Amino acid sequence: MPDSVEVRARTGGAELERVVYTAEAIATRVYEMGHEIGAAYPESDPILVLGLLKGSFIFMADLVREIARPVTLDFLVASSYGAGTVTSGEVRLLYDPENTLEGKHVILVEDIVDSGTTMNRLIPMLEARGPRTLEVCALLHKHLAPELVKEPKWVGFDAPNEFLIGYGLDHSENFRNLPFIGSLRTPE
């Protein structure tokens, strides 16, 4: 567990309510998820791991190194936050994957599922491209979305309803580099 001096140094003095998930807890769970994913598909079938940038990049990099079989990687970029701490409700697709999804087992890697806005917009678009299967792997799930079009098959942690930063999660593009996940203290 990082001490308060290390946390303040890493956050540039920004206040955290608490460290929610340590780097060690994250590493253990990512290892487990990678092995679960590797065992879930026949060895001869192609798997495309599709990362939702920017938040999933650290999680996805660690996750695919724990999947003990060949995988293809690609990314897409969607945004629903901007500079705020709550979703805007609008999803903008900024980068579309170049790989074909047709006939492949596709795993959409998401950093956090909270409002469900991004997932509900992306899943139908991806399904229309004819993947053999489409599953979601989320590091964090807040269980706030009233109706998700697809629940994640793999979830790292059930997350508290707090604004979380670190391990790829940001606030206004800051804090992604933290090796742990913390709850950002927000002004009242």
Residue 77 to residue 36: CA distance in whole angstroms: 26
- The per-residue pLDDT string of the chain (188 residues; one tens digit each, 9 = 90 and over) reads 566 666 665 666 677 889 999 999 999 999 999 999 999 998 888 899 999 988 899 999 999 999 999 999 999 987 665 555 455 556 666 766 777 899 999 999 999 998 888 889 889 989 999 999 999 999 999 998 888 999 999 999 999 999 999 999 998 888 999 999 999 877 55
Q: Is residue 76 within 8 Å of residue 95, measured between CB atoms?
A: yes
| 158 classed as catalytic | no
Structural domains present in the chain: 46-81+89-100+111-163 (3.40.50.2020)
Q: Is residue 123 within 8 Å of residue 135, measured between CB atoms?
A: no
Is residue 143 helix, strand or coil?
A: coil
Is residue 159 helix, strand or coil?
A: coil
Residue 123 to residue 67: CA distance in whole angstroms: 23
- Which is catalytic among the residues 45, 114, 158, 170? 114
**Which among 116, 114, 122, 150 is positioned nearest to 51, based on CA atoms?**
122
Q: Whole-prediction pTM value? A: 0.86
Residue 85 to residue 171: CA distance in whole angstroms: 7
